[in-house]
Chain A
């Protein structure tokens, strides 16, 4: 594989950039693989990459119905953070932060990781207390957290509404300085390019039609491009989890919902942090191109539509304008939607299943993008070793049965609880 560097850039510039290698191949599916990963999104690509890199398992195929990186990894708000209170979430996410910090070097692909910091705004004394508690929990787990008072927040984001007579005054906030953003497409492409180089077959335009299961054991998968045998199969299909689960006669603690995001027209640099509104569900950052990137609540009812509905967008942007009134002057450039695998406690599932050789990675709710490296790393471990790693032990499928819920916010599929 051609290494990307300033030298390769200069060299290829001399031949008008006509001689770059393909970033990944377009192979015909083989009859059999050691591992098949279903879903060519961020998590699936990362899983294949870590299977090859950490476990030397390279007879692997990723099968993707559309094109790689065309689902949620290509349509999120790119926020990366580990500001969780519960140990299971905090340690998992912080492990991911380490992978993020060296991802560009590891993948030889600039993912534009920008640790600009995230601020969760507080709008009451009670909320400040909750944030102090969460911040302390984070620091006990080795994650940076800073509790800011009103004046400290004002210094960082003076464009927020600090006037006296507002419905949700800013009391302060909790900041994780090491949180940030990254270029989402580059993450998918970087993982794909390295996985392909190590021998992983990336098979696009290949839809899963069914599974070959006998005597409680998975033998393979039936696809639109023929049957593929595999000893182990990993599901990384986010919003399509319920559809594939139905083909496996499984009913999961997951509902599929639609989450919207939008960007404004590009403006001059104004916001150098990720900021979330504490009295509702709204988050904002500014992209390198200058667009304000915004998102918030689910549309609120089961949906596979991959496009949003206006009442939710209006609701979310009302919160945005309450927080930063200047947003009302901006024109909307684009809005879009993606389908989320909403778990019932708001935390993901990375686990084995009752079918031998079938592994499940789903339930990412609002936070799938930031989990991409840690999810791929732990899922690869779970598949390769046929047992969960301690980092994803809390993300078990049977926690809903045993009562060990990971209710970080207790949200799950019920938007009205917030």
Chain B
């Protein structure tokens, strides 16, 4: 069982959250000319790192906010959590 520290609510069990994938993927800017490759990278291609991984979670059964979580994908250790609008440093 993961325990995730929601930046709004505090430490809660994994059961309250749903997963949203890689948090470092950026949507190409609207209205700007982009290549098919840029769009592929946004929609499909993922690094899926082994080790520290920034990812999105939603506190679905809590405050319903999206948050960013830095977790080790091999050990499940959670290092940091941020609000959705906070930049990954």
> Looking at the complex, which one of A242, A344, A416 makes contact with B47 (CB distance below 8 Å)?
A242
- Check if A251 is an interface residue, CB within 8 A of chain B: yes
**Residue numbers in B under 8 Å from A246 (CB-CB):** 47, 49
B19 in contact with A251 (CB, 8 Å): no
A254 touches B46 (CB 8 A): yes
Task: Give the distance in Å from the alpha carbon of A305 to the alpha carbon of B74 in the complex.
Answer: 5
Known A304-B50, A311-B14; judge A251-B41 contact (CB<8 A): yes
| Main secondary structure on B side of the interface with A | mixed
Contact B44 A310 (CB under 8 A): no
A253 and B1 within 8 A (CB): no
- The answer to whether B53 and A302 have CB atoms under 8 Å apart is yes
Contact of A254 with B75 in the complex, beta carbons under 8 Å:
no
Q: How far is the CA of A303 from the CA of B75 in the complex (A)?
A: 9
* Interface residues in B, total, Cβ within 8 A: 27
Cβ of A301 < 8 Å from any Cβ of B?
Answer: yes
Q: Which residue of B lies closest to A253 (CB)?
A: B44
User: Cβ of A108: which chain B residues have Cβ within 8 Å of it?
Assistant: none
Contact A401/B36 with A255-B48, A416-B18 known, Cβ cut-off 8 Å: yes
A118 to B53, CA, bound (A): 38
A304–B46 touching, CB < 8 Å: no
Q: Do the beta carbons of B45 and A251 come within 8 Å of each other? A: yes
Among B15, B18, B19, B73, which residue has its beta carbon within 8 angstroms of that of A256? B73
Assess whether B47 is in contact with A251, with CB atoms less than 8 Å apart: yes
What's the minimum C-beta distance from B55 to chain A, rounded to whole angstroms? Answer: 7
* A292-314 interface with B by 8 A CB criterion: 300-305, 309-311
Residues of B close to A416: CB separation below 8 A: 18-19
Interface pair B48/A344, CB less than 8 Å apart? no
Q: How would residues 9 to 50 of chain B score, 1 for a CB under 8 Å from any chain A CB and 0 otherwise?
A: 000001100110110000000000000110011011111111
User: In the docked arrangement, what's the CA distance between A311 and B61, Å?
Assistant: 15
* A344, B44: Cβ atoms closer than 8 Å: yes
- CB–CB B40/A254 < 8 A: no
Q: Which residues of B contact A311 (CB under 8 A)?
A: 1, 14-15
* A382 CB–B CB distance under 8 Å: no
* Contact between chains at B1 and A309 (CB < 8 Å): yes
Whether B19 contacts A301 by the Cβ 8 Å rule is yes
Complex: A302 Cα to B73 Cα, angstroms: 6
Between A251, A253, A302, A344, the greatest number of chain B beta carbons within 10 A of the residue's beta carbon is seen for A302
With a cutoff of 8 Å between Cβ atoms, the chain A residues found around residue B53 in the complex are: 302
Most buried by B among A246, A254, A303: A303
The answer to whether A243 has its CB under 8 Å from any CB of chain B is yes
Interface residues of B (CB under 8 A from A): 1-2, 14-15, 18-19, 21-22, 36-37, 40-41, 43-50, 53, 55, 71, 73-76
Q: List 22 A-B contacts (CB under 8 A).
A: A242-B48, A251-B41, A251-B45, A254-B46, A255-B48, A256-B50, A300-B18, A300-B19, A302-B49, A302-B53, A303-B74, A304-B74, A309-B1, A309-B2, A311-B1, A311-B14, A311-B15, A344-B43, A344-B44, A401-B37, A413-B21, A416-B19
